[in-house]
């Protein structure tokens, strides 16, 4: 893993400032997606009553 990190660092150092901004945005996006996936299961019990409501089954018929 150490050599992979070194290679990545070398590539990052060669980027223009504009490219570095894009890399930073990509990293932020990846971290946000990971955070969203990790907290999603916490909301499932709250929605269970809504998801398991027979009155709403008509909306699932599609």
- With CA atoms as reference, report the closest residue to 60 among 7, 15, 50: 50
Decide which of 36 and 60 is more confident: 36
* Residue 17, token pair as written in the block: 């400032």
Mean pLDDT of the chain: 84
- Mapped onto helix, strand or coil, the DSSP state of residue 54 is helix
Per residue in 21-42, pLDDT (tens digit) is 999 999 999 999 888 888 877 7
Q: Which two tokens stand for residue 58?
A: 């008509």
* Confidence check: pLDDT of 53 > 80: no
The structure's pTM equals 0.53
Question: What whole-number distance in Å separates Cα of residue 20 and Cα of residue 28?
Answer: 12
The token pair at 29 is 């996006």
Q: For residue 15, what are the contacts with CB-CB under 8 A and spacing of at least 6?
A: 23
């Amino acid at each position: 893993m150490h050599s992979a990190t070194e290679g990545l660092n070398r590539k990052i150092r060669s980027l223009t400032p504009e490219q570095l901004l894009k890399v930073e945005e990509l990293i932020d996006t990846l971290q946000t997606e990971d955070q969203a996936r990790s907290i999603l299961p916490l909301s499932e019990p709250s929605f269970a009553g809504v998801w398991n409501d027979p009155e709403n089954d008509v909306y699932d018929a599609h």
